[in-house]
Amino acid sequence: MRVGVVAVVGRPNTGKSTLVNKLVGEKVAIVSDKPQTTRRGVRGVLTTTEHQVVFTDTPGFHKPRTPLGHRLNETVAAAVEGVDAIVQVVDASAGVGRGDAFVHDRHLSAFRGQTICAVNKIDLVKHHDVVPHLAAAQELGEFDEIVPVSGLGVGELLDAIVAGLPEGPLLFPRDEVTDQPVEQRIAEIVREKALQLTREEVPHSIEVQLEEIERDEDLVRIEAVLLVERESQKGIVIGKGGSMLKTIGTRARRELEALLAQKVYLGLHVKVLREWQRDPSALNRLGF
Query: Residue 213 pLDDT more than 90?
Result: yes
Rounded mean pLDDT of the chain? 93
Query: Residue 176 pLDDT more than 80?
Result: yes
Which of these CATH numbers, 3.40.50.300, 3.30.300.20, 3.40.630.30, 3.30.230.10, describes 182-285?
Answer: 3.30.300.20
What percentage of the chain carries pLDDT values higher than 90?
84
Section 267-286 average pLDDT: 96
What class has domain 2-163? alpha beta
Give the angle 10-15-21 at the CA atoms, nearest 5°.
Answer: 110
Between 39 and 274, the higher pLDDT residue: 274
Give the angle 257-260-261 at the CA atoms, nearest 5°.
Answer: 70
Section 118-124 average pLDDT: 91
- The DSSP code sequence of the chain is -EEEEEEEE-STTSSHHHHHHHHHTS--S---SSTT---S-EEEEEE-SSEEEEEEE-PPP----SHHHHHHHHHHHHHTTT-SEEEEEEETTT---HHHHHHHHHHTTT--SEEEEEEE-GGGSGGG--HHHHHHHHTT---SEEEE-BTTB-HHHHHHHHHTPPB---SS-TT--B---HHHHHHHHHHHHHHHH--TTHHHH-EEEEEEEEE-SSEEEEEEEEEESSHHHHHHHH-GGGHHHHHHHHHHHHHHHHHHTSEEEEEEEEEE-TTGGG-HHHHHHTT-
Distance in angstroms (rounded) separating the CA atoms of residues 273 and 88:
34
Residue 68: count other Cβ atoms within 10 Å of its Cβ.
Answer: 23
Query: Residue 279 pLDDT more than 90?
Result: yes
Q: In Å, how far are 133, 146, 148 from 130, measured between CA atoms?
A: 6, 12, 8
Closest CA to 86 of 61, 108, 109: 108
Q: Tell me which of 69-83, 135-149, 163-177, 190-204 is least confident.
A: 190-204
Query: Residue 126 pLDDT more than 80?
Result: no
Instruction: Record the pTM.
Output: 0.92
Would you list the domain boundaries of the chain?
Answer: 2-163, 182-285
Query: Residue 40 pLDDT more than 90?
Result: no
